[in-house]
Amino acid sequence: MIPAEFDYVAPGSLDEALTALREGGEDAKVLAGGHSLIPLMKLRLAAPSLLVDLRRLDELRGVSRADGVLRFGALTRHHEVATGGYGLISAAAATIADQQVRNMGTIGGTIAHGDSASDMPAVLLAHEGSVVLRGPGGEREVAAADFFQDYLTTDVGEDEILTEVRFPALEGYGFGYEKFNRRQEDWAMVAVSALVKKGGDGTCADVRIGLTHMGSTPLRATAAEDALRGRPLNADTIADAASHAADGTQPPSDLNATQDYKRHLARVLTRRALTAASQ
Amino acid sequence: MTATVAEPWVGRPIKRKEDPRLIMGRARYVDDINVTGQLWATFVRSPEAHAKILSIDTSAAREYPGVRAVFTGHDLDLAAPLPMAWVPPGIEVNNPPHWALAKDEVHHVGDPVALVIGDDRYAVVDAAAQVFVDYDPLPVVTDVEAALTDGSPLVHEELGTNRCHEWSLGGGDLEAGFAAADVIVERRVVNHRTAGGAIEPRGVLADYRAGALTLTSSTQVPHFLRLFLALQLGISEDRVRAIAPEVGGGFGSKLQIYGEEIALAWASRKLERPIKWIETRSEGLLTTHHGRDQVAYVRVGATRDGKITAFHTKIIADLGAYLMLLTPTIPSLGAFVMSGVYDIPAVQTDIVGVFTNKISTDAIRGAGRPEATHMIEVCIDQLAAELGMDRLELRRRNFIDPASFPHETAIGVVYDSGNYAGALDKLLEHFDADAERAAAPAGKLRGIGYSTYTEICGLAPSRVTGPSGFGLQTGLWESAMVRVHITGAVTVYTGTSPHGQGLETTMAQIVADKLGTSPENVEVIHGDTATGPQGLGTYGSRSTAVGGESVARATDKVADKARRIVAHQLEAAVDDIEVIGGRFAVKGSPDKGMTIGEIAGAAYIPENLPEDMEPGLEELAFYDPSNFVFPFGAHACVVDVDPETGNVDVVRYVAVDDCGPAINPKLIAGQVHGGIVHAIGQALFEQIHYNEDGQLVTGTFADYALPSAADVPSFELDRTETPSPVNSLGVKGVGEAGTIAATPAVLNAVVDALRPLGVGYMNMPLSSMRIWETIQEAKS
Amino acid sequence: MAGPVRVSMTVNGTQQSADVEPRLLLVHFLRETLGLTGTHVGCDTSNCGACTVHLNGEAVKSCTLLAAQADGAEITTIEGMGQEGALHPLQEAFWEHHGLQCGYCTPGMIMASADLLSRNPHPTEGEVREALAGNLCRCTGYHNIVKAVLAAAEA
């Protein structure tokens, strides 16, 4: 399997990259780790005319923490995220595909690709995080809730580059990540990210639930969240909340999972993730 | 006495001779070989499952930079369609023409319609996208049972039916057997379609020059390939050389004569250039033959005290769109062992082969025997549940008596040797079912499954399988040549064509003992029709039982000559010369002897040979077995099922296998490990699935899920050794045994786990969703 | 045709440069431009891992990288792991423990295992199995591969 022909540049600065992207027109694509894009190009499901490779942009690497926000440069690789001790974010990153993919794939790449079957988008959504986009007109920050628009469609403009992924450092939250797949290296059939903040009285002070592969975009299980928030945290309330995890979802079905089965999985996995997050 | 008896090489778990080149990345698979002047080929394939080809416009592709030629089906003036090797006497088999490139109609997605040849590996792929084909779609059928109904779309309109053939094998009085039964269990047993999944994709390098063709292919059967290249292209067989270089796994999927092999050879002759084609994985899942795909209606009758009285199965076999080399024979191979390890007085198998708009099925690891074993081993558990009897007790009550071997079954097949209770006893030394159940983790349903199996391999006694018998248009003998060089180094040429089995090592062990040398000094050459004797390849667990025996016989001839030379030189009686302490020595005077090197020296510098003896030291042997061989064993599988998600974890797997005396126990274990995982893959994950339109849904390794290391456990293996009387080594095959045995063990374990929820039976694949759905149905 | 790009990288300790098509995959650069055929291709979708090599010391799937992406990198392939008479401990262990049959997946398995042992010199069986989740083998059932990696860790 061989990609169709394309032109290639690896600019030395973000501004040069933006220029190249703009001049490349609508069929130009940004290349980070390439582990979403290159397989699609090999299968000829994607055929960009120009690849703008970000690999020389060291300014897009690394993780920093300031003002209660964890900032991941877009080129931070899954392996670095998985092993950095970032709670739910690391737990989810550690389950992405396999070690070789985690050694190349990047957090910016997977977020910008916006596949609802990928692990990180729903984690970002549950954190109520955001992304930073740089374009010719400067920089803008977009909340995750606004960023994921449809299947493989995000708010990244044709002339923009995703430069940073921001997660609020949710102090005092427990977390759980439950991913269900056939084989370890497969995409999630369904995955659930849960973040729970326990109040002093043992009630649920706050809860965030992200759903992976339950729609054309990552989703929040808001009905389940609403059912748990403010209530005592115990097996019964968690089970009750989890029973609402799939409310209103229209998950994509395939050979291995019908909509009914995915909704069922979402409820089971939500209960498990909430239980872990409440420990 | 100075010489000591050396420990024989046969039986030792020595390291493999073939490994250094493989672990250093120095092996040469087809894609590692390039020839000066070589062009690249790619195939344009049908996106339609069934359609008339109205027109093919190749003009843009021809003009694409670097393209040398574009051929379509009518350009290829071949002597005959692709071969199918089975003509069963008295049976009508519909065999629609199957051309290397489709001519006027396509019958499955992936059917090749054009061949694009050019200078560059990448550019030919671009050019192929410029071949424009106008298709007129025709109705499609992909469900094998739907294909048999009146009014079904016809895969081949001209046949007027989707029925390919019917074939039956039975013995004993079936009616009386069922009449004598107190209990009859009936099940619809589905054995779904799978892919071979060799990690090396197929590849072909055709090089025709000056009237002779050399074709290098990732094949299990270079000698068959040479024959059919000669027949198809009208080249005398002596001017065709087929080479199987290093081959990266086959599992039956490379036991085939593929259209790509024929088309590349034809094009190489036409263009007078070497041409290479390497399959991509997604192309392979569409076009490399599949396996299994049977729906069987099984009936088993038994008395209340657990004596099985009759076993009947009707197999509806999905053959796909065309008959490839062995397509329609595969279900019949299972019929020979349909009664498994049990003494059943009446057994009948009725097969109907059916065309559908999918790629053909053919031999995949086990080839018919996994399906048969699955049927009987699953139905034994079903019967035990019906009788309220312990599953192992039921098995024991029906095992063939070990004293009755060679044992003729109700259908007239003679099992060579066996001790099924012995294998089960050995299994239970390693496996305590009560302890397993007690150790079940909280929240999981633990299930235990067993499989006690035999299979038929060592293909094959030609008088049974040949044209006037079963109907294969070939013999299935094997041959070997053993050449001792003047230094005493030995080269063995085998007609088998190993591709991972380790025959370079095991054959060297066989030879080393007989010649008083070490496997290090024995090189085994295979896979090239120009370098060795003839042979028929590696499949059907035949390479040791048939190929190994031919090596043993050729070596015996060499040893006989060596003995005569030694007797002559040392003035001793020939019958007094024996191999001891690394030398051919005189019985009782072990210091009086010659090494194989000294003997070879005498043979090649023939100053002092017995009168009338030819110089040299090499011999050829052909061997056609008198019977098949029948390995057997007992397997146990422990699974944990998550009743909420339906997920299955195989947590423990114990297997006792008997393939006769071990030549190399390390390699036997490796074969069993791989076979078991192949079966676990089918039972849990792997499924070739076409949708109603005939589109392949599982067309990449992302969708067609081979298990990884993270998805399976380690295994506990043991063996019993019951020699076969069929060959001098006493050996049976083991390449397919794990795959044949393991799917019912997994399925029986899952059903065992689900019984508390009211589930009594389900079919593979045991995917999490199907298990969840089955639980829901049982609840409602 | 798209204009060629210049790539330079160190492969098994030797500096290599070439002008290549932008779409040239790293695995084809290694196999066809440099003639290092020990790295194999087994799928199209980054599932099988037969193409695993090290890029700056870490395992990657060379069928899912452009050669251009490896510009300036240090690449190690199976040919760089050990030589006749001086095998890498993983090569020795795969040989000793029969961790291969047809050998096609073996270079990728060894490279992925080396990545694991560089991060985690004494892995558990479970850790070995997880680390090899991106490498498919059809022959061995993994049993002896896992055994070999565990043995190499103790060598």
Residue of A nearest to B121 (CA): A2
CATH number at residue A243: 3.30.390.50
User: Cβ contacts of residue B495 below 8 Å, gap of 6+?
Assistant: B223, B478, B479, B480, B526, B532, B533, B534, B535, B536, B537, B547, B550
pLDDT digits (tens, 9 = 90+) for A211-269: 999 999 999 999 999 999 999 999 999 999 999 999 999 999 999 999 999 999 999 99
Per the CB < 8 Å rule, is C141 touching B712?
A: yes
pLDDT digits (tens, 9 = 90+) for B386-399: 999 999 999 999 99
User: Cβ contacts of residue B542 below 8 Å, gap of 6+?
Assistant: B457, B458, B459, B460, B476, B478, B496, B733
A80 SS3 class? helix
Contacts of C73 in chain A (CB under 8 A): none
Per the CB < 8 Å rule, is C22 touching A6?
A: yes
Within a domain: residue A53?
A: no
What is the arrangement of strands in the sheet containing B67-72, beginning at the earlier edge strand? Answer: B67-72, B112-118, B39-45, B275-278, B203-209, B212-217, B240-243
State the pLDDT confidence band at C155, using cuts at 50, 70 and 90. Answer: confident
Rounded Cα distance, C74 and B426, in Å: 53
Contacts of A53 in chain C (CB under 8 A): 66, 68-69
Q: Domain residues for A25?
A: 7-48
Q: Contact, B620 vs B480, CB < 8 A? A: yes
Within a domain: residue A229?
A: yes
User: Cβ contacts of residue B46 below 8 Å, gap of 6+?
Assistant: B102, B106, B108, B109, B110, B111, B112, B113, B133, B135
pLDDT digits (tens, 9 = 90+) for B590-606: 889 999 999 999 999 99
Pairing of strands B67-72, B618-623: unpaired
Chains sharing 3 or more CB pairs under 8 A with chain B? A, C
Per the CB < 8 Å rule, is C68 touching A5?
A: no
Shortest CA gap C55–chain A (Å)? 9
pLDDT at A1 over 90: no
Within a domain: residue A149?
A: yes
In a mutational test of the B interface, the residue from C88, C104, C110, C111 whose CB has the highest number of chain B CBs within 10 Å is C104
Percent pLDDT > 70 in chain B is: 99
Rounded Cα distance, B217 and B207, in Å: 11
Per the CB < 8 Å rule, is A185 touching B710?
A: yes
pLDDT at B443 over 90: yes
- Identify the bridge partners of residue B71 per DSSP, sorted by sequence position: B115
Average pLDDT, chain C: 97
**Interface A:C, Cβ pairs < 8 A:** 95
State the pLDDT confidence band at A87, using cuts at 50, 70 and 90. Answer: very high
Per the CB < 8 Å rule, is C48 touching B26?
A: no
User: Cβ contacts of residue A97 below 8 Å, gap of 6+?
Assistant: A35, A105, A185, C46, C134
Residue of C nearest to B249 (CA): C102
pLDDT digits (tens, 9 = 90+) for B187-244: 999 999 999 999 999 999 999 999 999 999 999 999 999 999 999 999 999 999 999 9
Domain check: are A161 and A71 in the same one? yes
Domain check: are A253 and A233 in the same one? yes
Chains sharing 3 or more CB pairs under 8 A with chain A? B, C
Domain check: are A122 and A42 in the same one? no
Domain check: are A139 and A208 in the same one? no
Of C3, C44, C134, the CB nearest to A43: C44
pLDDT digits (tens, 9 = 90+) for B13-33: 999 999 999 999 999 999 999
pLDDT (average), residues A60-69: 96
Within a domain: residue A58?
A: no
| B714 and chain C in contact, CB less than 8 A | yes
Per the CB < 8 Å rule, is B673 touching C104?
A: no
In one-letter notation, the amino acid at residue B503 is L
pLDDT digits (tens, 9 = 90+) for C33-80: 999 999 999 999 999 999 999 999 999 999 999 999 999 999 999 999
Of B16, B28, B248, the CB nearest to C98: B16
State the pLDDT confidence band at C1, using cuts at 50, 70 and 90. Answer: very low
Q: Contact, A134 vs A13, CB < 8 A? A: no
Domain check: are A150 and A76 in the same one? yes
Q: Which of B542, B525, B456 shows the shortest CA–CA distance to B490? A: B525
State the pLDDT confidence band at A116, using cuts at 50, 70 and 90. Answer: very high
- Identify the bridge partners of residue A64 per DSSP, sorted by sequence position: A71
Residue A254, both tokens: 């395939």
| B87 and chain C in contact, CB less than 8 A | no
Percent pLDDT > 90 in chain A is: 98
Amino acid A76: pLDDT: 98
Q: What are phi and psi of A20, to 5 degrees?
A: -60, -40
Q: Would you say the pTM of this structure is higher than 0.90?
A: yes
Domain check: are A120 and A101 in the same one? yes
Amino acid B746: pLDDT: 98
Q: Contact, B322 vs B106, CB < 8 A? A: no
Interface confidence: ipTM more than 0.90: yes
The angle subtended at Cα A218 by Cα A212 and Cα A223, nearest 5°, is 90
| B675 and chain C in contact, CB less than 8 A | yes
| A191 and chain C in contact, CB less than 8 A | no
Per the CB < 8 Å rule, is B710 touching A184?
A: yes
Domain check: are A126 and A199 in the same one? no
Contacts of B709 in chain C (CB under 8 A): 128-129, 132-133, 135, 137, 142, 145-146
Residue C49, both tokens: 């891992």
Rounded Cα distance, B29 and B23, in Å: 14
Domain check: are A88 and A152 in the same one? yes
CATH number at residue A163: 3.30.465.10
Residue C150, both tokens: 């565990």
Within a domain: residue A56?
A: no
B547 SS3 class? helix
| A183 and chain B in contact, CB less than 8 A | yes
Per the CB < 8 Å rule, is B768 touching A186?
A: no
What is the 3-class SS of A156-169, one letter each residue?
Answer: CCCCCEEEEEEEEC
In one-letter notation, the amino acid at residue B355 is F
pLDDT (average), residues B562-573: 97
The angle subtended at Cα B623 by Cα B461 and Cα B261, nearest 5°, is 80
In one-letter notation, the amino acid at residue B275 is I
User: Cβ contacts of residue B747 below 8 Å, gap of 6+?
Assistant: B374, B378, B449, B683, B762, B763, B764, B766
Rounded Cα distance, B363 and B196, in Å: 9
Q: Which of B287-301, B423-437, B576-590 has the lowest mean pLDDT?
A: B576-590
Domain check: are A231 and A254 in the same one? yes
Contacts of B14 in chain C (CB under 8 A): none
Residue of A nearest to C28 (CA): A2
pLDDT (average), residues B154-158: 98
Domain check: are A178 and A161 in the same one? no
Domain check: are A69 and A125 in the same one? yes
Within a domain: residue A57?
A: no
Within a domain: residue A54?
A: no
Amino acid B99: pLDDT: 98
pLDDT digits (tens, 9 = 90+) for B368-384: 999 999 999 999 999 99
**Interface A:B, Cβ pairs < 8 A:** 50
Of A180, A183, A265, the CB nearest to B685: A183
pLDDT at B3 over 50: no
Of A5, A186, A264, the CB nearest to B772: A264
State the pLDDT confidence band at B1, using cuts at 50, 70 and 90. Answer: very low
Rounded Cα distance, B197 and B209, in Å: 34
Per the CB < 8 Å rule, is C138 touching B678?
A: yes
Number of domains comprising chain A: 3
Per the CB < 8 Å rule, is B249 touching C138?
A: yes
Amino acid B533: pLDDT: 84
Average pLDDT, chain B: 97
- Identify the bridge partners of residue A7 per DSSP, sorted by sequence position: A50
In a mutational test of the B interface, the residue from A183, A192, A262, A275 whose CB has the highest number of chain B CBs within 10 Å is A183
Helix residue ranges per DSSP H, B528-604 = 549-570, 596-604
In a mutational test of the B interface, the residue from A256, A262, A269 whose CB has the highest number of chain B CBs within 10 Å is A256
Amino acid B5: pLDDT: 58
Rounded Cα distance, B336 and B621, in Å: 29
In a mutational test of the B interface, the residue from C36, C41, C43 whose CB has the highest number of chain B CBs within 10 Å is C43
Rounded Cα distance, B571 and B565, in Å: 10
Domain-terminating residue out of A168, A196, A212: A168
DSSP for B587-618 reads: TTEEEEEE-HHHHHHHHHS-SSPPTT--SS-E
pLDDT at B88 over 80: yes
What is the 3-class SS of B454-517, one letter each residue?
Answer: ECCECCCCHHHHCCCCCCECCCCCEEEEEEECCCCCEEEEECCCCCCCCHHHHHHHHHHHHHCC
Within a domain: residue A180?
A: yes
Per the CB < 8 Å rule, is B709 touching C82?
A: no
User: Cβ contacts of residue B130 below 8 Å, gap of 6+?
Assistant: B60, B61, B64
- Identify the bridge partners of residue B638 per DSSP, sorted by sequence position: B448, B652
Window 202-241 of A, Cβ < 8 Å to B: none
pLDDT at B171 over 60: yes
Rounded Cα distance, B343 and B404, in Å: 10
Shortest CA gap C72–chain B (Å)? 24
pLDDT at B455 over 80: yes
Rounded Cα distance, A117 and A95, in Å: 12
State the pLDDT confidence band at B719, using cuts at 50, 70 and 90. Answer: very high
Amino acid B399: pLDDT: 98
Rounded Cα distance, B511 and B10, in Å: 9
State the pLDDT confidence band at B660, using cuts at 50, 70 and 90. Answer: very high
pLDDT (average), residues B745-769: 98
Of C24, C28, C136, the CB nearest to B199: C136
Domain check: are A271 and A215 in the same one? yes
Shortest CA gap A7–chain B (Å)? 15
Rounded Cα distance, B108 and B45, in Å: 10
pLDDT at C83 over 90: no
The angle subtended at Cα B638 by Cα B633 and Cα B644, nearest 5°, is 145
Rounded Cα distance, A244 and A236, in Å: 13
Q: Which residue has the higher pLDDT, B3 or C62?
A: C62
Q: Which of B120, B118, B95, B112 shows the shortest CA–CA distance to B48? A: B112
Residue of B nearest to A187 (CA): B702
Q: Which residues of B531-551 are buried (b: 16+ CB within 10 A; e: fewer)?
A: ebbebbbbbbbbbbbbbbbbb
| A45 and chain B in contact, CB less than 8 A | no
| φ/ψ bin of A20: left (φ > 0), alpha (ψ from -120 to 50), beta (otherwise) | alpha
Domain-terminating residue out of A168, A188, A217: A168
Contacts of A6 in chain C (CB under 8 A): 2, 22-23
Residue A162, both tokens: 């995703």
Domain-terminating residue out of A128, A145, A168: A168
